[in-house]
Structure 1
Amino acid sequence: MKKRSLLARPVVTLLTCMTLVAPAIAGCTAAEPSQQQERVLRLGTLYGSNDDSYFRQQYTDVFEVLNDNITIEIVPAIDQTEYQYYDYTQKEQPEQPDQLESVKKMLTGDNPVDIIIGDVSTMKSLVQENMLKQLDPLIAEDKFDTSDIVPTVLDGIKDIGDNSIYALTPTFSSSALFYNKAIFQKAGVEPPVDGSTWDDIFDKARRVTSGEGKDQIYGISLNQWGSDAFYDAQTYAAPLQLRTYDDKAEKMTVDNDSWEKVWSTISKLSRDKVLAGQDAMNNNSGSPEEFNPFQGNLFMEGRTAMVIADYGYVTRLINDNKYAEKNEKFNPIDWDVVTPPVHQEKPGVGGNVYLSNLMAINSSAQNPDDAWEFIKFLNGEEWAKIRARSSYELVSRKSYIKPKEGLDYNIGAFYTLKPTPPVNMNQYQLYQKMPNLWQVDQVGQKYFKQVMDNKKTPKEALAEWQKEGNEMLLKLQKDPKASFEDKLQ
């Protein structure tokens, strides 16, 4: 393939690109194109604006350097540029465009995009409507190696297409259960292990909970930032795929034994101060006058034994420990990670794995050959070497997933479990059709607080939420823009 001299490229573009790939650019290779004439590769995204420089730095600059006869055009399904001019003080706001319909328009017409980059829900909907090209034949023909792709990522990809591959992703994000070794050792409790059930973890959390007030040590936090117990219940219930209402938002589905167990479990743990929530965040362990860079970070303060946090939390802990080692007022945390807890009803499922950068070929692509070359390159070994340095995402190729800075922690905890099934795309469409549908959930938060305050049992509260929610849904069916501010008091 004829390559243009790097010096011939615009300086600004190359400097931007080289900040990402200078150490590895010499090892990058691109497949020979079938033709040498100038070509255009149209790449579609779910959202975007007229400034696509960050996206290009992340995904397209290197490919264009190595394929100087290919120009990449980036086309957002929904252009967010105009949103900055909306007058949000007005009660009536412009109707938001339907995301899926916008994507489908981008994939059809006289000048369709060649590639679409999106999330699991979008891709699943497009596969069901035969709008994406199956990649298995291309993978087999080119002997493209998928054996090194993290199994949980590959499982998530195959779930989109009924065990067939319609997209690939170079990166994914994930969470794990972090734990403080010293707290477990002091309490004489065995630390958590991979594959633990929620019951196992909650039992350990209860056993290591101690103290009160500013000396309180909580057993577990389900969110590194702290959250309301109502949303902790949603997190706990997610792998069970429990729904608040049916697919058409016509009938509530919360008055049942499964939701009652969820609310009973989380409300009791919260009341017993085993589960850390917003009250823990507000209960500062130090004096108001003291500077505390870890304030609000309960795990780093040594005030919670376990926390579910995303991969980026590793970098934060490393940096926080470096600071603590130099400052006698603070103590470094001796930590490790295990897989997130799983429900007994769903063994092996519970990984908070997010595949948000899936790359697929439009079945109506004008330039399918270059589209496949692009996807191969972005999902190949050379690119994995580059992206493995990311602090916030993991690369999909297992060979390049290593602990940071030579530390010894259980990196496999981030990718061992199968991902929690995605939210149905229909859910997003319902929120677009009925913009105040979220208020039905907010009413649920009101009833959950009554459980927390011992004013109602979980069974009583869920029954009342179901009744009131059904009334709200009926009104929304008649008037999709109906609001229920009075019910949120």
Structure 2
Amino acid sequence: MKYANVFASVIGISLLAACGSAGTKEAPKTADKPAAAPKVEQPKELVFYNASNSNATLEAFLDSDQGKEIKAKYPDLSIKLLATGKGLEPQDIIASGHPIDIIINSVFSYPVLVETKLISDISDLIKKYGYDLNRIEPAFIDSQRLLENGKVYGLPTANAGVALFYNKDIFDKFGVAYPKDGMTWDQTYDLAKKLTRTDGGVQYYGFATRYPFMYNVNQLSLSYYNLQTNKITVNNDLFKTFIENFARFEQIPGNEKVNTDVFNKEKRVAMMAYQSGKWDFDSWDMVSMPSFKDAPGVGPQGYGTYMNIAATSKNKDFAFEVLAHLSSDAVQKKFAQGGSIPVVRTPDVVKAFDQDAGRFKGKNVKAFFPDKRPTPSFVTKYDNAIAKHMNNAYADVAAGKKDVNTALRDAEEAATKEIASMKQ
């Protein structure tokens, strides 16, 4: 399923990043509001369903921050996990009446979950238990409200840390100054040209990323499809800017088709725009994601993991209690101290980042916390079909097979035909 590998890595490393929207309001200084209703009776079993990763396993979930916390809080609770795949797609779950309680997903899975009615608005539970949504980074909620008439379907529990990572050894080797926070993509491109070279028979690459991932966290609030106008929105100047920006890095002689894996495995990539991982060398650091001239100082979109209550669950109140617990200030602070950036914006919690783990000791951790975030992109059930053609368009531009205008026009035409067929 689309984005499955990336989502799996989010669960696996459980690295979170703060997420907000442009013009983010000042973080609240109040703690969680206490529940207004009496304690909910705990069921014997809770069934989780991973709607984004067909390779998800119970063992991996129980070893994640979220899984460990649930077992610690509810030691007598039996936990089961199903993963999407053949016979277990959302529509299959609905058709079979398979009992599930909590759905784990990324924002990209929301359209099919909403369309199949496997999830429903939880505003009534938020109100019933006095849950304070203002503590959550705004874009996590805003991205859901774009789906259908301002509804809220779940709560975030994790997010990937996104930044520009760099290998100090390569910069030192060639006598080039390190990247800085607040750079533009043009400045990054100039650095990449300087650092793409061969030395002693070894090819070094100035820059690496992955176009699909950069679209997912794009800083220009780009969307493949507009739900309000019911039109494909890819053939415009902002998409041209976006594609040309990343294609030019691949057009640097010697920097063609470099993979992000080379950053860690072979250590021959000077800079990489991507989500954080567990790099097996120490001489790396990070700076804020470079920004576009069209959106100065705007960081990447959030890349979150959400938990939602299944519309068919018989344990909705308890399921909400679990979601509220995982996203509480106390638990998010615990996660933050262990090296996971919180999904809440409570100052005390944010400051606790990496206090115990030391995983990012000496690193420029403020790169994970940009001052501004873009307005979330629309996410629709047509994105998979459009993405296929847009990925091809990007590859054609990067390889010099098509100019950007032709590539986007061809992608728009092909996607329009495919979506028309889907609608019929």
Indicate the TM-score class for this superposition, using the shorter chain for normalisation: 0.5 to 0.7
Aligned partners of 1:67, 1:336: CA distance in 2, in Å?
38
8 A contact 2:163–2:288 mirrored in 1: yes
Residue of 413, 416, 423 corresponding to 2:367: 413
Matched residue, 1:132: 121
Matched residue, 2:207: 220
Quickly say closer, same or farther: Cα 1:121–1:212, change in 2 above 3 A. Answer: same
**Which residues of structure 2 form unaligned runs of 5+?**
1-34, 344-348
Residue of 362, 375, 379 corresponding to 1:424: 379
Matched residue, 2:353: 401
Matched residue, 1:288: none
Matched residue, 1:204: 191
Matched residue, 1:4: none
Residue of 47, 51, 75 corresponding to 1:46: 51
Q: CA deviation at 1:184?
A: 4.8
8 A contact 1:233–1:263 mirrored in 2: no
8 A contact 2:234–2:412 mirrored in 1: no
Task: Say if 2:61 is the partner of 1:55.
Answer: yes
Amino acid at match of 1:398: V
Matched residue, 1:320: 281
8 A contact 2:104–2:307 mirrored in 1: yes
Q: Which has the larger radius of gyration?
A: 1
Matched residue, 2:17: none
Residue of 359, 373, 377 corresponding to 2:321: 373
Aligned pairs for 1:135-284 within 5 A: 136-138=126-128, 141=130, 147=135, 153-161=137-145, 166-181=153-168, 184=171, 190-209=177-196, 214=201, 217-223=204-210, 231=211, 235=215, 238-242=218-222, 256-273=236-253, 276-278=255-257
Aligned partners of 2:142, 2:153: CA distance in 1, in Å?
8
8 A contact 1:36–1:69 mirrored in 2: no
CA RMSD of aligned residues (A): 5.0
Q: Which moved more, 1:110-119 or 1:169-178?
A: 110-119
Matched residue, 1:466: 409
8 A contact 1:156–1:419 mirrored in 2: no
Quickly say closer, same or farther: Cα 1:366–1:266, change in 2 above 3 A. Answer: closer
Aligned partners of 1:213, 1:245: CA distance in 2, in Å?
48
Quickly say closer, same or farther: Cα 1:56–1:419, change in 2 above 3 A. Answer: farther
Amino acid at match of 1:470: E
What SS does structure 1 have at the residue aligned with 2:270?
strand
8 A contact 2:243–2:394 mirrored in 1: no
* TM-score, with structure 2 as normaliser: 0.65
Quickly say closer, same or farther: Cα 1:182–1:406, change in 2 above 3 A. Answer: closer
Amino acid at match of 1:157: I
Aligned partners of 1:168, 1:468: CA distance in 2, in Å?
34
**Which residues of structure 1 form unaligned runs of 5+?**
1-30, 84-96, 224-230, 282-294, 322-332, 432-436, 482-489
Q: CA deviation at 1:408?
A: 0.9
Quickly say closer, same or farther: Cα 1:133–1:311, change in 2 above 3 A. Answer: same
Amino acid at match of 2:189: F
Aligned partners of 2:56, 2:367: CA distance in 1, in Å?
39
What SS does structure 1 have at the residue aligned with 2:156?
coil
1:89-121, Cα deviation, whole Å (9 max, x unpaired): xxxxxxxx5x4x457x38xx9887543332224
Q: Which moved more, 1:402-411 or 1:55-64?
A: 55-64
What SS does structure 2 have at the residue aligned with 1:351?
coil
1:303-326, Cα deviation, whole Å (9 max, x unpaired): 4432223221xx32xx334xxxxx
8 A contact 2:224–2:234 mirrored in 1: yes
Higher relative contact order, structure no. (Cα contacts within 8 Å, ≥ 6 residues apart): 2
Quickly say closer, same or farther: Cα 1:171–1:418, change in 2 above 3 A. Answer: same
Aligned partners of 1:419, 1:467: CA distance in 2, in Å?
28
Matched residue, 1:309: 274
**Greater helix percent: which structure?**
1
What SS does structure 2 have at the residue aligned with 1:418?
coil
Q: CA deviation at 1:46?
A: 1.8
8 A contact 1:116–1:360 mirrored in 2: yes
1:192-251, Cα deviation, whole Å (9 max, x unpaired): 33333222322333355555783554432225xxxxxxx489659943355667779x98
Q: CA deviation at 1:355?
A: 0.9
Aligned partners of 1:37, 1:202: CA distance in 2, in Å?
55
What SS does structure 2 have at the residue aligned with 1:168?
strand
Aligned partners of 1:81, 1:478: CA distance in 2, in Å?
23
Q: CA deviation at 1:409?
A: 0.9
